[in-house]
Amino acid sequence: MPPTTIPAVLRAAAAEFGAAEALADGGFRLDFRQLLEHVQRVARAFAASGVRPGDRIAIVLPNTAEWVLAALGALYSGAVLVPVNTRFTGVETTDLLVRSRARALVVAADFLGTDRYAAIRATGVELPELTTVVRVPLDQPHACVPGTLGWEEFLARAETVSAAEVEARAEAVRPDDVSDILFTSGTTGRSKGVLSAHRQVVDVAAAWARCGEVTAGDRYLVVNPFFHSFGYKAGIVVCLLTGAAIVPQAVFSVPETLELIERERISALPGAPTIFQSLLPERAGRDLSSLRLAVTGAASVPASLVRRMRSELGFDTVLTAYGLTEAVVVTMCRPGDEVELVAATSGRATAGFEVATRPPAGEVVVRGPNVMLGYLDDPEATAKALDQQGWLRTGDVGVLDKAGNLAITGRVKDMYICGGFNVYPAEIEHALTELDGVRDVAVIGVADARLGEVGKAFVVPADGLSTETVLGFCRGRLANYKVPRSVEFVTELPRNASGKVLKRLLSEEKA
């Protein structure tokens, strides 16, 4: 019977893949047997620090070997993992520590020039339940801060706890136990803690791996942040299930990514469309022949980008997918799907999900065994999101074709009404991605005295573009009420870690 908990997945991977490389972070290399041994040591260190099964362990680290070991060690010890966005301020991070009642914290001492724990302490908020803080130096050695442990000092605690005790904890983890609390991106308001079970994490990762045909021969570059389900569940856990090697990248950088692809012979590279758009102009002279699989997703993935990813970056397979924190991966294309289908849709249901749309807006709703357990300490929000029949409201608007392929056309809250007609910005954005010279685009509704609301396009140009060129292009492809009335050229769009545009920030700037 396939494993249904993360500890069982780890043990199965060690047994099946053994000496194959599991983790490659610069000079730090582990095979699958060694990975299990290191995770067991981390689990013993957590147990020695007073962490009990069911306690919450927060991690504020970029994509590094330490994130992988700390997260898997937490889960192996029977604790609940709380990944925290490394872009959060001290105030935002402290809020999550309070709300999750974190017992332990593993935090970067010097990521991007910031001591994350110092930022937490500067808030002045007391954290009485936080009894263990481990500061991980990433760039250079750091002096220990009173009341905290260094990474090696933390690991040394493992010697005081027997291997048998931690193995008993790992064996006691049940498939329906809560494995993690991932906080939503908060693009439309305060973030919510999403509760998932071990069986759900394993099942969605297995479905993702099947759609991508991931195997033990793959080397998987994980650029997507580990604190996001795309990096953690569709990244780390996928590799554990398939025997693919995890190659983490702490911060996306075009030269570094290209160097990693060459040096590590990367075959799988999932990421937001902007990653591939950034790699294309810099690919000359690089050996990218190892690339096989790309998985991306957004409301607007132009067919031209999919074609260029295949012809110029060398991917054999380019897939799009749709998911959200509350369900991880809901639909996904399959190898062999036509370019136009991959670009225009996010594929068909996977991981046991049912997908439907509801009037009047066409909101996407999903149901299945891998829908979240609920929101942390928020029964009211849970009841609003999940109805009594088990359908989850996603907040996304979409269309299903006869074959069940889902095309996301926008967000319910992004929709605006122009002259009495509903307008979904994603449709306009998708059209504009086909205009030469448009590198990135976002459309929002702004107030208009005559029509109520009209569209405003924010465009990141690759080269010289004029407002008239953009608007003229739209007029040739869209109904008049969908054509934006104004264009603003910007150097970049505000995005969250998963690549979604933070439209509320654009709206606030124009308020």
Q: Are both 372 and 464 inside the same structural domain? A: no
Q: Are both 175 and 91 inside the same structural domain? A: yes
Q: Are both 402 and 442 inside the same structural domain? A: no
Predicted confidence at residue 99, as pLDDT, reads 96
Residue 350 lies in a domain: yes
SS3 per residue for 32-79: HHHHHHHHHHHHHHHHHCCCCCCCEEEEECCCCHHHHHHHHHHHHCCC
Give Cα separations from 57 to 1, 45, 84, 133 (angstroms).
29, 13, 10, 10
Q: Specify the CATH number for the domain of residue 460.
A: 3.30.300.30
Q: Are both 401 and 433 inside the same structural domain? A: no
Q: Are both 310 and 366 inside the same structural domain? A: yes
Residue 98 lies in a domain: yes
Q: Are both 314 and 376 inside the same structural domain? A: yes
Q: Are both 53 and 144 inside the same structural domain? A: yes
Q: Are both 177 and 113 inside the same structural domain? A: yes
Domain with 338, as residue range(s), is: 252-410
Three-state secondary-structure class, residue 16: helix
The three-point CA angle 142-251-298 to 5° equals 150
Predicted confidence at residue 188, as pLDDT, reads 47
- With a CB cutoff of 8 Å and minimum separation 6, the contacts of 490 are 458, 459, 460
Predicted confidence at residue 473, as pLDDT, reads 94
Predicted confidence at residue 426, as pLDDT, reads 83
Amino acid at 393: R
| Residue at a domain's end among 384, 410, 436 | 410
Residue 221 lies in a domain: no
Residue 284 CB-density burial (10 A; 0-12 exposed, 13-18 middle, 19+ buried): exposed
Q: Are both 177 and 302 inside the same structural domain? A: no
| Residue at a domain's end among 410, 434, 459 | 410
The CA-based diameter of the chain, rounded to the nearest angstrom, is: 73
Q: Are both 453 and 375 inside the same structural domain? A: no
CA–CA separation, 390 and 71 (whole Å):
30
Q: Are both 266 and 406 inside the same structural domain? A: yes
| Residue at a domain's end among 392, 410, 428 | 410
Residues of the chain with pLDDT under 50: 187-188, 511
Residue 200 lies in a domain: no
CA–CA separation, 443 and 486 (whole Å):
10
CA–CA separation, 106 and 83 (whole Å):
10
Residue 191 lies in a domain: no
pLDDT in tens, 93-116: 999 999 999 999 999 998 888 888
Q: Are both 372 and 503 inside the same structural domain? A: no
pLDDT in tens, 432-453: 988 999 989 999 999 888 888 8
Predicted confidence at residue 187, as pLDDT, reads 47
The three-point CA angle 105-106-111 to 5° equals 125
Residue 234 lies in a domain: no
Q: Specify the CATH number for the domain of residue 138.
A: 3.40.50.980
The three-point CA angle 307-311-316 to 5° equals 90
Residue 273 lies in a domain: yes
Residue 282 lies in a domain: yes
What b/e sequence results for 419-457 when a residue is b if at least 16 CB atoms lie within 10 Å of its CB, and e otherwise? eeeebbbbbbbbbbbebeebbbbbbbbbeeeebebbbbb
Q: Specify the CATH number for the domain of residue 268.
A: 3.40.50.12780
Number of domains in the chain: 3
